[in-house]
Structure 1
């Protein structure tokens, strides 16, 4: 008997990683010398850890979105609002990397990540109402966002001179 592949689940699981891959390219180009030259806390995870962690988290929330889509009647059912909030969260999450690493705006990234946190928590709660497992899958994501937010804050605090340049100044450097 051939193995049946659930392509909807596969697609939903892979989809969030598209933005993660694009973010990885942006991040890699900004590591040296800019990011490496910033003051960072001793507790910061090593650079190599971010890729595997984000890939795991993106895959998890992607699969959670499939569970909600499946159990919530798709976009014509109860899943519509939770999936719209989730989509907003992904877009906001993907936007953080170009703000922080691309434009080198630590201050704007700190404000923007608050929106990522709010929509992540809202997604987890809304997903839980349709499929509790899908809601629980958001817990590690929200916890890691807490780490990312704290790291963003500490790097901004300890490098204020690097985070207040205007976008025009950054483009001309």
Structure 2
């Protein structure tokens, strides 16, 4: 989603600790990324509101669609372009082939296979039983993905209930 570049401001002890961690992760941003960041910060800012509005609309779309999908819940994201969705209701559910979805990794494998939607299991971030989807795509793509996920979930047998 772009060049990883940024800056930090805060109390000196915090910045010192952040610098120590960052120095082990990256050797620094390349000169092209630094020049681009400078231009972005010093240049016209009128596009920022447009991007903010687009990302808010996508977030709101995902929140509303998930609210309308039985068995899934989420806390609305406050500033990220992805959503963590709680899939605990479907842990232990079985597919039409009789395969049990034992954890969020199995859940995301199922929606990849059945719905053709890529997601990251929450366990990759120590947030099981959630899964993460990106909202950095068009509303049309999000609607298609969420339709496919809902259709795939309707095929599962959950705790004695049949699809």
**Normalization by structure 1: what TM-score?**
0.29
Q: Of Structure 1 and Structure 2, which has the larger fraction of its residues in strand? A: 2
TM-score with structure 2 length normalisation? 0.30
Higher helix share: 1
- Structure scoring higher RCO (CA < 8 A, sep ≥ 6) equals 1
